[in-house]
Each structure stands twice: as structure tokens, then as C-alpha cells.
Structure 1
Amino acid sequence: MTKHSSLGFTRRGLLGAFAATTLTAAPTFSKAAGFLRGSGDIRRIKMYSGRTGEKLDMIYWIEGDYIADALKEVSHFMRDWRTNGVKKIDSRTIDIMAASHNLLDVSEPFMLLSGYRSPQTNAMLRSRSRGVAKNSLHMQGQAADLRLGSRSVSQMARAALACEAGGVGRYSRSNFVHMDCGPVRHWGA
């Protein structure tokens, strides 16, 4: 058995699932980078927003380089829909989302529930729920709350955890997974 079999993934399965996507090596991405050596030369993110009705299917990285205009478009797509505020989304978060999506082997786009949150939106959500952090990484453009109709919260969380590249929160009752590029950690059920 490989180290990742307890998560439902084998190293061979991970390498195969990542054939079309890669993650950059960063201090918190040591495992993900190891899985991706020799992988494909593009990175793609697919999402839609039930709040705005917008869809995004974007190649944002080609042959070792991020595409600045594509990253701007992703940031606009992941804006705070309540205030229309835009903040640059950290490319590491986009990489985690893309890698997790590839691991899940689905063509369905992620449903984006929350990307960037303005301090005002975060404070409003915090007043309604104790599950919202005061200093949420959403306010830094470093987190996303995502859902897939064809995969469970557990399946999505296992894929994100396999990357060992940031925070992963399971919100089973609300049917979404939080992914961020902060310290490697996990929570929820």
C-alpha cells in the first residue's frame, strides 16, 4: 500500500490524474510538486457561479508561465458578488483548486460559493455564523468554497488533502469544501 491509499488515492492514480495539470513548487507545496514532476504543460480551471450566472473555463498557465490576463479574469470571476469588490486571487489557491479538480477526474466545473470576501461581507457572514473566521483567508484572496454535484464533500476534501498544499475544510451539512493556500491543516466533518 502507498502512503496515500488511506485517502483513497494511490501514487500511481495521483500521477495519472495530474497528467494535464501541474502545481508550482512552493514551501507549502512539497507533496503536490512531487506528484507533478513531468506532468503536462497547461493548467486549467473550470467554475461557474450560481450567484452571478457566470461561467469560467480558463487555461491560466502554459509551459511554466502564468497568463496575467487569465489570472485577472479568474480574480474578477471570484470577486465578492455582494459588493462587486475584486482582489487578486493567489495563484497557489487556483493551483490547489485545479489539481483537486483533476484528481476527481470530472468534467463538471466547480460551483464557486465564495472566493474573495470584502471585510464588510466577512463581518456580515461572521455575525450570522460562528464558522466564519475573523481573519479569513477569503479576505486575502487566498481561499475558495466549492461544490460539485457529482462528488461528495468527502471525495472533494480527500482530493484537496492529497495535495498537502493548504487548508481544507469539510462542511458536509452545507455541502461544500473550503480550499486555501494557507498552512497545511484540515477541519470539519
Structure 2
Amino acid sequence: MTKGNASISRRALLGAFAATAITAAPTFSKAAGFLRNAGDIRRIKMYSARTGEHLDMIYWIEGEYLRDSLDEITHFFRDWRDDQTKTVDLRTIDIMAASHSLMDCDEPYLLLSGYRTPHTNAMLRSRSRGVARNSLHMEAKAADLRLATRSVNQMAAAAESCRAGGVGRYSGSNFVHMDCGALRHWGA
């Protein structure tokens, strides 16, 4: 097979994956509904290029959230600029985990932004039109995520299929925003 054919086959495979993810993914009113069918555990895998930290954490077993695990996730989500934390909303973690599971992906998320202090949010807002004044990042209810092995559209389609919060596509910057706020989506 020539390099050109391999490229076409790869595109065809990725296209088929995207179509399958959109059509085969079940619709749920809450991401937790999907995760209830995933077995007796919930797991989140992430890393941060900013801090060099990695997280591979089971945070829920047999109907119970694990407090120590949630504390570690909250620390991981901290505003690294100010080293401040706020307890991460469990719904956001569930949306991330459900989306990850729907994509059948073993790669950890790259967390670009989790919790932001009002100070950090104001600084980022002064540099970019894409930062909301009342961002859910300031309430620890949002995450900006990237996967090297999945496109922005694949990630967003998985998150949107959970029907559990907001999903923003930032194709130019190659990341997806997921939050547990009102059901909505934006971006291209």
C-alpha cells in the first residue's frame, strides 16, 4: 500500500468513527446515566502540560464517590497560575468520563483549563474574546480538553451525546470545552 492510500484509508476510518460516534452514541439526560451502565467504577485520566502532573483516578465505585479521589481531582483542576482550588462539580467529572468512554479511548485528556480564579479569568478575558465574563471555569464546573487521537468534532459529538451540559468546539485552538451548565453548544 502506498503512503497516499494509507492516508485515504486513515481518513475513511476516522470518518467512519465520527459517523459511528454520532449515530451509535445513546442520548441521556445526564452523563451519569450512561456511566451507570459502564460497570461498578468510574475513572478519569488526564495530564497537564502546565504542571507536568498526570492523573489516572478511579473516583466512583459501586454508587459512591470516593472523597480522597475527588480531592485529588480538585487539586489537579486547580488554577495553576494562583495555586488556588475549588471543589470540582461532580457532574463535570461525569461528563468528561462518559465522553471519554463513548470515544473508546485509552489516551488521557490533556487538561488545558479547569478551575480559574476570577483574577485569572479576567486576565485571560483581556487577552481573548473567547473567554466569558461569568465563565463556569470560575465555579469549577468546566474543563477545556484535548486528545491527540481524536478530533475536536469527535470529542464534541461524544460530549453532546451525553446531553448533560455545554459543549464548545474550538477547532482553531484544537480543544473542546465541556461543562455542567445549561444544555447548549457552540463553535465550529
Distance 1:75 1:34 in 2: 23
Give CA-to-partner distance per residue, 1:114-142, whole Å, 9 cap, x none: 00000000000000011100000000000
Distance 1:148 1:69 in 2: 26
Is 1:94 aligned to 2:93, yes or no? yes
Distance 2:142 2:104 in 1: 22
Query: Residue 120 of structure 2 aligns to a residue in which SS?
Result: helix
Change (3 A) 1:59 1:31: closer
Is 1:107 aligned to 2:81, yes or no? no
Q: For structure 2, which runs of at least 5 residues remain unmatched after alignment?
A: 1-18
Change (3 A) 1:120 1:37: closer
Shift of 1:66: 0.2
Is 1:9 aligned to 2:8, yes or no? no
TM-score, normalising length: structure 1: 0.85
Distance 1:6 1:70 in 2: 32
TM-score, normalising length: structure 2: 0.85
Q: For structure 1, which runs of at least 5 residues remain unmatched after alignment?
A: 16-28
Give CA-to-partner distance per residue, 1:19-65, whole Å, 9 cap, x none: xxxxxxxxxx6254554554311000000000000000000000000
Distance 1:110 1:73 in 2: 16
Matching residue of 1:68: 67
Distance 2:155 2:24 in 1: 16
Give CA-to-partner distance per residue, 1:116-175, whole Å, 9 cap, x none: 000000000000011100000000000000000000000000000000000000000000
Change (3 A) 1:170 1:62: same
Distance 1:31 1:85 in 2: 29
Distance 2:106 2:160 in 1: 20
Query: Residue 30 of structure 1 aligns to a residue in which SS?
Result: coil
Matching residue of 1:148: 147
Identity %: 71
Distance 2:86 2:59 in 1: 17
Change (3 A) 1:106 1:37: closer
Letter in 1 for 2:126: S
Which range is displaced more, 36-45 or 107-116? 36-45
Matching residue of 2:9: none
Q: Tell me the C-alpha RMSD between the 2 structures.
A: 1.8
CA contact (8 A) 2:35 2:98 kept: no
The residue correspondences of 1:122-137 to structure 2 (distance < 5 A) are: 122-137=121-136
The residue correspondences of 1:11-26 to structure 2 (distance < 5 A) are: 11=25, 14=26
Change (3 A) 1:6 1:42: closer
Distance 1:84 1:32 in 2: 29
CA contact (8 A) 2:125 2:131 kept: yes
